[in-house]
Structure 1
Amino acid sequence: MNAPLPRAYWCHTDVDGGPYRPAPEGLLTTAPGPAVAWMRESVRGMTPRLDRDTFHQAWAWLGDRRGAEVAVQALRRGQLYAYELDTHAARWRWTAYPVSVLPLPLDHLPIEPPVRSHA
């Protein structure tokens, strides 16, 4: 019987609508806590550009520590977690979900000595 594949958590940001497309953001981590922390930090980084009402909505979500704990628990149970924020220009979505990762076989790679600097 094959061993189960290791679990990781893939996080990314999407935007629907709006006049521009931001550079894709994403994170792959081995624990759900850093996944939720990444989502929260990404939202926090966007708050200075938000209008007053949307800012307060985002700030309320950022201040909800219990909600962050619930998100971590959902990821541990194998469920995805998403947060959406509607702005006047677009709808932003931060998503984290569990994924299985394939271990990389390293036995086929040649062992090479470290590169030396001639400086």
Structure 2
Amino acid sequence: MNGPTHGYWCECWTEEVTGTGGPARLASFDAYSAPQADRWVAIALRTISPALDSDASDEAWTWLHGKRAETRRALMRSEPCTVTITHADVRITWTIRPVLFLPLAHRQDAELPACARSFKPHRTD
């Protein structure tokens, strides 16, 4: 098994601005580089920008053309980042956090970890 891998955990959340509904996670993504992480947000913003109201579209393009470079530099320094736009009464937030991805044991490896032998499958009768 290989050791831990540095990467970024990315999520997209929505929340009603009125506060009547709690936040809901729409998507998550595991990125293995800062460019891959900020590209995930950029693709999402470019995809939804035609459907956004004019203020939200302006927020999206401001990040894409001005603040995206700041976001990438912060990620390269292992700092978490957030990109938020508000469309009508919905706040959409992308979060990017530096993480360590731990390797998983492959089922076909010759030597599984000792804990694998203690696993008992759940059976329903």
TM over 0.5: yes
1:43-68 CA distance string (max 9 Å, x none): 1111111112221222222122xx32
Letter in 2 for 1:77: R
Match of 1:38 in 2: 40
Name the stretch that deviates more: 13-22 or 45-54.
13-22
TM-score (norm 1): 0.74
Cα 1:23–1:84 change in 2 (3 A) is closer
Decide whether the 8 Å contact of 2:15 with 2:24 is kept in 1. Answer: no
- Asked if 1:99 corresponds to 2:99, the answer is yes
Cα 1:86–1:5 change in 2 (3 A) is same
- Segments of 4+ moved more than 3 angstroms: 18-23
CA distance in structure 1 between the partners assigned to 2:56 and 2:63 by the alignment: 11
Tell me the matched-pair count: 106
Match of 2:9 in 1: 10
Match of 1:25 in 2: 27
TM-score (norm 2): 0.71
Cα 1:110–1:62 change in 2 (3 A) is closer
Match of 2:120 in 1: none
CA distance in structure 2 between the partners assigned to 1:63 and 1:69 by the alignment: 8
Name the stretch that deviates more: 6-15 or 45-54.
45-54
| Secondary structure in structure 2 of the residue aligned to 1:79 | coil
Structure 1 unmatched runs, 5+? 112-119
Q: 1:47 aligns with which of 46, 49, 64?
A: 49
Match of 2:118 in 1: none
Matches within 5 A, 1:48-87: 48-64=50-66, 67-87=67-87
Residue 4 of structure 1, CA deviation:
6.9
Residue 10 of structure 1, CA deviation:
1.1
Cα 1:51–1:80 change in 2 (3 A) is same
The root-mean-square deviation of aligned C-alpha atoms, in Å, is 2.7
Letter in 1 for 2:31: T
Residue 95 of structure 1, CA deviation:
0.9
Residue 6 of structure 1, CA deviation:
1.7
CA distance in structure 2 between the partners assigned to 1:71 and 1:27 by the alignment: 17
Q: Which structure shows the higher strand fraction?
A: 2
